Structure 1
């Protein structure tokens, strides 16, 4: 099944790539991207900028993807080098540092009717992604002239690429009322899905993964040398552990308590009265959920610490997450400085 998902993703990418090639067919027919006819159109530019980052996965479901556009929003910064080979086609090498965050506490509050189970689960994470990618950039309109001076005032474009990224999902330790905010702890080493004790658990995941960036954007010409780029892109990752939550069950607390007590604390957080990432109390909303949705058998005054695990069923053998790939969106505003292609030639060496 996972192989079929990869095939579908690659097929969609190929279709997008074929579409933008059709748009630039006229350019290729007139001698090719690398022909001498295109020499006047070849120049380079460097860009720097940043924007927002938005995560999708087990803690931010795709079916309400729009919540992620304004919930747990984080940041990214980028620097890149682009070579324009023809009026329609360029290649870009980019480095992006993007932080993503997921939190059952903050996300589920957007719609408790739909996500009260996520609220009760109470998982969260933070992940700093260091992404390097090579992308093709395809201008969607013809240029008004030759080379750097022939740039349009506004040019829509599409990109398609491939790259890799390093990552490290982390979470805060549990805290109590009045406790100091604790530091973030790397989760992979804690093996929160019970990898050390359960043969049926998923294998430990890698901290280096492949990514397929796809984006749309606008280039706005500010001066002869400067452009403002506005871009929004989806990062497709054939990977399910950006959030340290995947298709696995909760491990046995008895076995984890003996061999991996730290992993146990970060694996099942349904019994915490305080949301560790924000420091806010979970008790009142927990009680509202219990009263509203007809759970039975709780304490007289229910609370996560008394009823979290036993009451809502987040025990060994119960699903902790799903099998859907994680992904993220970045929006970026970058300033580009054009170098070369001005038509100015160096004097001959005598």
Structure 2
């Protein structure tokens, strides 16, 4: 089996990618410091190294011992709201950590990488469907940190011969359809699992930030992509970069081309769980774009990828099944 280094592979998205890698005949080598990930989220068939992407010695040992043919780089800080309070942490982990990783890749002659980027690089965008030609204008340090890493990868492709693809995720949601993996952030920051906590009585209710956006119900609109579809996109992207004969860098949206507002998601969560919960309305958070919905045509054209789970009710149902399995 061919080894693939998965940084941040013990996290929500990483654990699903590892499952997909195994199904496609790859062996994941997971590097994770377990700050946000969980050791038991890593499939038993995968190799695991506890460490930080800023630790060059650990990275060099992984490349020497496991000889991965490519890297899927997920490790980093992801909370956009937190980045507005502690930007230094985001640049330290997301940018400096990536530079250390790329230096180790160069030294160990591993030049193929799939990078976990984000739709937050677009910032506030007036397009109904955001395509990759849209100018990037991130509104928070999280989005800016990802944009910086994309720029580094473009330079490394042109100068050092990297073969790199940045996947600009829209909102990852859901769980493995067989409940083998799902969302377990501590503390939780994502909308759907927070709604489940409110439905289960773990928290006293839900906070909604901003009701005065120019949308149907005044709340933000996002494109929710099933985490299993997102994992499949990484396999397609991995095959794309490893089959490239020339250095190359590109970026691709991963989304469904449909959006839902915060209140629409919460209403579905209450329907699916069969439980109501209090919703507390707060003022807008700094750095939150009004609408982020993907055009996914480039992914279809380059990777032959399209979202399989396009029904938000099904996405939320899978997430609820996993949440219930963890509560037993």
- Which bracket does the TM-score occupy, shorter chain normalised? under 0.3
TM norm structure 1: 0.22
Query: Between Structure 1 and Structure 2, which shows a larger proportion of strand residues?
Result: 1
